[in-house]
Structure 1
Amino acid sequence: MSIAVEHIATDQPPDDSKARDLDYGWQSGNRVQLLENGEAYFPAVFEAMRDAQREILLETFILFEDKVGHELQGILIEAAQRGVKVVVSLDGFGCGELSPAFLRALAEAGVIVQMFDPASKTLGIRTNWFRRLHRKIVVVDASVAFIGGINFSADHLGDFGPEAKQDYAVQIIGPAVADLHHFALAQSGRQVRTRRGWRRRQQRPSPWADEHDDGLVRLIYRDNIQHRDDIEEAYIHALSQARQRVVIANAYFFPGYRLLREIRNAARRGVQVQLIMQGQPDVLLAKLAARMLYDYLLKDGVVIHEYCQRPLHGKVALVDDEWSTVGSSNLDPLSLALNLEANVLIRDRAFNQQLYQSLEALARDHCQTMPAKRKPRLWLWRLTVGFLVFHVMRHFPALASWLPAHKPRLKPIESPAHDV
């Protein structure tokens, strides 16, 4: 038997052309729960999936054939067999090593499995590096949603060992789930209908809600068509409004010049700004790139912590005592200029405080703080490299357009007919 594959979609789904320019506004009355690491995330997601009655929508960058991946596979198969509609969208790079047998078992059970921009290896090397589906979203029965940075892999569990990742996600119950549900349907190429609780916004709402209320949630996303800068702009706007504190924990930190400048400017006007970076990276280049920016930030009062217990994979931030964001987007060129990403903005004091306490404990107990005045070693080399780095950052969006401009696509993996 073989797995049949055919083209069904381009970078955006053909079923709903209006999905190309969807804007989602602030939704009030939501309950948002912080889920730290796989120990909190996987039980919550798996319980929701086991209780599903109608539909499971899942997008992920990575799914491995380990204990987490096999448990997810079993839950999805069981759900599909009891009549739940299950749609799984996987990235062709992050999930490129999944075996045909693993995918076939899902397809034969009735799970709709789609691979985003798959590509065969060239000389044993995967070449589909850019414009990845990097989102991590789960929506169950259009009533509960999960979004964050956690993939479906055992390296998000503490018992994985020293390489286990530190990461965050949220569970959302309330009106904002309708937006996440609509978005997940549209991006998967499924039939999208206007539902009560969701409406299309012609104007982009401010990243900062006007309502003085808790439980406010807004979905923002990045694509390569009409929403190229939405996540970056949300960060910039929030930083420009900061008055008391800013905490950013981000795994891959190499933002554009405008965002970097807003971080520095916040510290200059007296805001307590803390950055939590990788001290024990899973990608060494990420640490080296981030460190090129330290001097620029430290001299203006930004406090930089490096998390050294295990690899940091989080993509979270908070401003003052209300505003927070959790999602899939790193603050690096891949996430801000190339990949397909999704975050939620949250205005909720209790959630903000919960996230703040978690990050403060992380910085206090498991990080080393960079000295405000570093030794001026190799200053000429640092000055030269720093100059080059800043100009690359400033012009990266234009440079990124030179990268392979293929049209990513979703391909369904179908249950094959049995050989006669």
Structure 2
Amino acid sequence: MALRIRSYLPRSLYGRAALILVAPIVIIQLLVSVAFIQRHYEGVTEQMTESLVYELQLVRELHLSGQRDRAQQVADRLGLKMSPAGSQTLDESPAFLDFSGRVIQRILKEGLPDVVGVDVNSRHRAVLLRAGPPGDQIDILIERRRLSASNPHQLLVLMVFAGLLLGIIAYVFLRNQLRPIKKLADASEAFGRGQILPYRPRGAEEVRAAGAAFLQMRARIERQIEQRTLMLSGVSHDLRTPLTRLRLELSMLDPGPEVEAMEADLAEMDRMISGFLDYARGDAAEEAVLTNPLTLLQEITTRARRMGLKVELLPLSVAGAVPEVWLRPDAITRAVENLMNNAARYGDLIEISLSWTTRKLIISIQDDGPGIPPEQHELAMKPFARLDPSRNANDGSNTGLGLAIVAEIAISHGGALQLGKSLRLGGLRADITLAR
């Protein structure tokens, strides 16, 4: 039951705050309408109708005693319009919301024993009372304001107007308080995707403190990224310089098995260094740009085919135009190529598909290789992990960083890397989920 109720509640902060604001106002108005308006006006109607019953009894007694002229004079003096009963039928069904009309009918019928009918509906702002024995019936027209409080709807209109006015004022105030929180959330989410949005702390003291802390954190992270980029550039240069000298020295030696083995070792060291640097560098140095993912995948597929890979880009399974998203093209290219190279190493056919929802974008790479056991999926995405030799899902340099690099790239885009079994090809299925 609680889950059902929760599914109908608003999910956004604006919606929940509006619900907290509007619900008490509506409840109070309903309570006032039921407890005050209905009961109060019914009580007032009872008192006013009971007072008028005595005047009607006097007029009826004079009329029944034969003093009809006297009864007419008294009725005129009392503001009652008395006339012989007409032939029209009385409408004794009050309107649905005419609570006071039901009270008027009940009191008049209880106070006057010879009442034939009480029409509270067919006369505008008047009540038609028909009373008397057969053959001597009279109609008495009574102004409605003498039987019930006038204009009871004015209080309802005033309540609704006051509620709307207070609701508008509260909404404006609430929006001004929630807008800084929304801007802080947008700036934080954008920074997680590699975008730097201009942000200035505003709002209440607590929100300003959170905004200032975010700016300080963002500045520290930017400094660390810049320092790491500079350090990695220096490390890359310092490590590859001696490797280049070694290659040059080996090239000057006479060819032989020992020289070939040493050159293979140097090539493996170069691949290992590239893998380490790619993992450490990530995609921090690249800025996110608005990109069409389908166009990017088409370019990746074309390059892979030129390299001899059997890659197929499947048709779109989602109707509509492909949405452009903020991402780092080089990083996504590196991630997709890592997965394709891994798939080509252990299988023959590779299929790439693109799908999306309102909140995320999914790039799927499938192959017809042996796959990875489900119990090793989490291990495969950890840095420097080693899997079963029959299928080492990481980079060919055997550094254990291939899937780890892809996972880091997906996380930096507000998404994740998910591994599973390909239902189409029977091998591995890797889904790169990116936040839109």
Q: Where on the TM-score scale, by shorter chain, does this alignment land: which range?
A: under 0.3
Relative to the length of structure 2, the TM-score reads: 0.21
Q: Which has the higher helix share?
A: 2
Which is strand-richer, 1 or 2?
1
RCO higher in 1 or 2 (8 Å CA, sep ≥ 6)?
1
TM-score, normalised with respect to structure 1: 0.21
